[in-house]
Amino acid sequence: MDFDYDYFVIGAGSGGVRSSRIAAGHGAKVAVAEEFRVGGTCVIRGCVPKKLLVIGAHFAEDLEDARRYGWEIEGKRFDWPTLRDNVLADVDRLERAYQSTLDSHKVETIRGRATLTGPNRVAVDGREVTARHVLVATGARPMVPAIPGADLGITSNEVFHLPALPRRAIIVGAGYIANEFAGILHELGVDVTLVVRSDTLLRGWDRSLADRLLAISTEKGIQFRFNTVPAKVERRDDGSIAMTCENGRVLETDLLIWAIGRVPNSEGLGLEALGLSLKPNGAIPVDADSQSALPWLHAVGDVTDRLQLTPIAIREGHALADRLFGSRRWRVDHDCVPSAVFSHPPLASVGLTEADARNRLGDVRIYTSDFRPMKNVLAGRNERCLYKLVVDGTTDRLVGAHMIGPDSPEILQALAIAVKAGLTKTQLDETVALHPSMAEELVLMR
């Protein structure tokens, strides 16, 4: 059978764009359908613009600390529209760059919502085409609770477009998105309250890091309401928002942000009609090669809900294109993947947490360094770093590394190589410290 395309990709996010480009590089005839903007969550409304807001917000502390370093800065003030518009302009630039990449690799971009109409068949805005292989790379979206008045809140998607900063904000959630936007808005002068369903932040992260972030955030003035579940939301006559919780408490705010998780974008694609069973949360089940139960249908990235991280989606898409159209056969290793929370200060982690290591390995050695960075000492800022190494007591191998403090994600990327490579604590000890630096603590723990 002759097909219109060798490869039809639904979704031009990080995974879809990489897979399209690699497949086209192998000589495949490729098309990608996108209903919104090329670049996906990360580039358009996720990690990239969020990180720029984090950097912009951190100047609040830097300008304050500068006085102790001899700098007198008169008349400083913050203008939200300037930061917002400059960030959005950079998003536009990146979108053009992603589109240019597709064009230069002769990948056809089709604007519109794609659906699967049968085996090897895709429809986009009334036009039906056939493809030898179809990739679903539609990502995920922020979850909104099914309670009365929930639409009075916004999600992380809309934060980047706020016309003005509110006086007060409530963020519902305990994960990385909730803590990141809590830090950003607080630094920019907003009175922030985090509403948490359970009694802990950052489930899945090393507890000592999560506890340290809670202590630092509380010291900064961010408020927390634990064991609190929203029941309904209402708009008051004065324009404010009132959120009634299951415990009867009423919380008032000017801005409500839902940050309670992300759900795969799989509905309305026609997957069930093809006989494909989805996971309870809508994720598409795939094997280690990103292959679905249908031989011609594949999925990568957040829509599979394996690891919702941009670099993972990119690797999954790359490996799939190599397998389908190239000669290289490789699989993405979802084990030992570094991740970060760009809070104030940021967290970074790779490998096993202390709790996981004790459960899995039994014999574990834990090394910690709890210190104040030089910059904070002179600035008079009582904010401490915490570094933790998790070591297999039997083999001396480094199996986990976790840190909170300035530049932690930058430092941890290099340390992730050591964990991935299975280096030992002895090898870290034998490495000469780079002094004076925060990172030297990693080779000085005894």
pTM above 0.75, yes or no: yes
pLDDT at 121: 94
Average pLDDT over residues 47-71: 95
Please answer whether residues 385 and 405 qualify as being in contact, where contact means their C-beta atoms are separated by less than 8 angstroms.
yes
Q: Which two tokens stand for residue 40?
A: 């996906």
Dump pLDDT digits (tens) for 145-162: 999 999 999 999 999 999
Q: Which two tokens stand for residue 208?
A: 């000592």
Annotated active-site residue 344? The verdict is no
Q: Is it the case that residue 395 has pLDDT exceeding 90?
A: yes
What Cα–Cα distance (Å) separates residue 240 from each residue in 8, 223, 234? 47, 19, 9
Which residue in the block uniquely carries the two structure tokens 């049968």?
A: 118
Q: Is it the case that residue 1 has pLDDT exceeding 80?
A: no
Dump pLDDT digits (tens) for 267-303: 999 999 998 999 999 999 999 999 999 999 999 999 9
pLDDT at 40: 87
Which runs of consecutive H residues, i.e. helices, occur in 40-125? 40-45, 47-66, 80-104
Domain range summary for the chain, segments of one domain joined by + = 5-142+263-325, 150-260, 345-443
CATH class of the 150-260 domain in this structure: alpha beta
Domain 5-142+263-325 carries which CATH code? 3.50.50.60
Pairing mode, strands 5-10 and 30-34: parallel
pLDDT at 126: 84
**β-bridge mates for residue 8, sequence order:** 31, 134
Same CATH fold assignment for domains 150-260 and 345-443: no
Dump pLDDT digits (tens) for 93-132: 999 999 999 999 999 999 999 999 999 999 998 889 999 9
The CA-based dihedral angle spanning residues 108, 113, 115, 120, taken in that order and rounded to the nearest 10 degrees: 0
Q: Return the number of other C-beta atoms located less than 10 Å from residue 225's C-beta.
A: 15
Sequence-ordered list of residues with C-beta below 8 angstroms from that of 342, at least 6 positions apart, any chain? 50, 51, 54, 176, 180, 183, 409
pLDDT at 125: 85
pLDDT at 274: 92
Sequence-ordered list of residues with C-beta below 8 angstroms from that of 367, at least 6 positions apart, any chain? 388, 389, 391, 425, 445, 446
| H or E element in which residue 371 lies | strand 364-371
The CA-based dihedral angle spanning residues 214, 216, 217, 223, taken in that order and rounded to the nearest 10 degrees: 70
Average pLDDT over residues 73-79: 92
Nearest Cα neighbor of 350 from 401, 314, 394, 385 is: 401
**β-bridge mates for residue 245, sequence order:** 230
Dump pLDDT digits (tens) for 303-325: 999 989 999 999 999 999 999 99
Nearest Cα neighbor of 5 from 175, 120, 112, 150 is: 120
Pairing mode, strands 262-264 and 347-351: unpaired
Fold annotation for 345-443 = Enolase-like; domain 1 (3.30.390)
The chain-wide mean pLDDT, for the chain, equals 95
Please answer whether residues 440 and 425 qualify as being in contact, where contact means their C-beta atoms are separated by less than 8 angstroms.
no
Judged on CB neighbours under 10 Å (0-12, 13-18, 19+), 206 is buried
Active-site residue, from 26, 58, 133, 435:
435
Give dist(CA 12, CA 17) in Å, integer.
5
What Cα–Cα distance (Å) separates residue 440 from each residue in 32, 54, 354, 436? 46, 25, 21, 7
pLDDT at 253: 97
Dump pLDDT digits (tens) for 401-433: 999 999 999 999 999 999 999 999 999 999 999
CA 295 from centroid of its chain's CA atoms: 30
Give dist(CA 19, CA 413) in Å, integer.
24
Please answer whether residues 303 and 265 qualify as being in contact, where contact means their C-beta atoms are separated by less than 8 angstroms.
yes
